[in-house]
Amino acid sequence: MRTDQIAAVLLAAGASSRFGEGDKLMADLYGKPVIAHTLETVASLAFGELIAVVRPAGQAPVIHRKLERRGYTILVNERPEDGLSASIVKAVEHVMPLRKYRGILICLADMPRVPQSHYNRICMAARDVRSVVASSDGFSSSPPAFIGRSHFPELLSLRGDQGARALLSHGVQVETHGSYLRDIDTPEDMSEI
């Protein structure tokens, strides 16, 4: 599927509770914040719209500025403690009335190593509005993932921190190197990225 038929959704509203002091998305990774790696890679593809679900501006002012400069539509998740699902619901509510988009590509801001080529492969594996295409390290399904418009009602019913894991496990799997799919949860994870 062409990227201009897809809305890219960057999930960046987590509270970084396991990271300790500070915001993991603002932690320095190879000379720039963790989130900068992901938001720049996603923005380098010609998506129909770039959407970011983030904490309120008062909690993440630098992140808001970086996203605005790159042209992201910013959606605020006022309740990040409700888990990843709350952010997905917020994004789907925004995209649902925009009929020009055939689906969304869910990207995690704390996965800085995913290359542009992998995002592109996921989009190309999506055939239509019924498609579900997940990333895989050969063992489990994860974001980044494409979810077609026909699954939006199911996404709107999500609760908790599992996100769309069950849906992804039944979709097409696009395998990539496991290190690309590592996310950052703790300071120790930084040394493994």
| DSSP result, 112-180 | TT--HHHHHHHHHH--STT-EEEEESSS-EEEEEEEEGGGHHHHHT--SS-TTHHHHHTSEEEE--GGG
Q: What single DSSP character describes residue 12?
A: E
CA distances from 35 to 109, 114, 151 (A): 5, 12, 27
Give the Cα separation of 39 and 119 in Å (integer).
Answer: 12
- Give the three-state DSSP class for 192: coil
Q: How many domains does the chain have?
A: 1
Q: Looking at residue 114, which CATH number applies to its domain?
A: 3.90.550.10
pLDDT of residue 19: 55
Q: Which residue has the higher pLDDT, 148 or 85?
A: 148
For residue 20, pLDDT beyond 80: no
| DSSP result, 66-117 | HHHHTTPEEEE-S-GGG-HHHHHHHHHHHHTT-TT--EEEEEETT-TT--HH
Whether the upstream peptide bond of residue 61 has omega within 30° of 0, thus cis, is: no
Confidence grade of residue 4 (pLDDT, cut at 50, 70, 90)? very high
Minimum mean pLDDT range among 18-22, 32-36, 176-180: 18-22
Is-contact 175 138, C-beta < 8 A? yes
Give the Cα separation of 100 and 84 in Å (integer).
Answer: 25
Write down the mean pLDDT value for the chain. Answer: 90
Average pLDDT over residues 153-178: 86
Domain that holds residue 118: 3-190
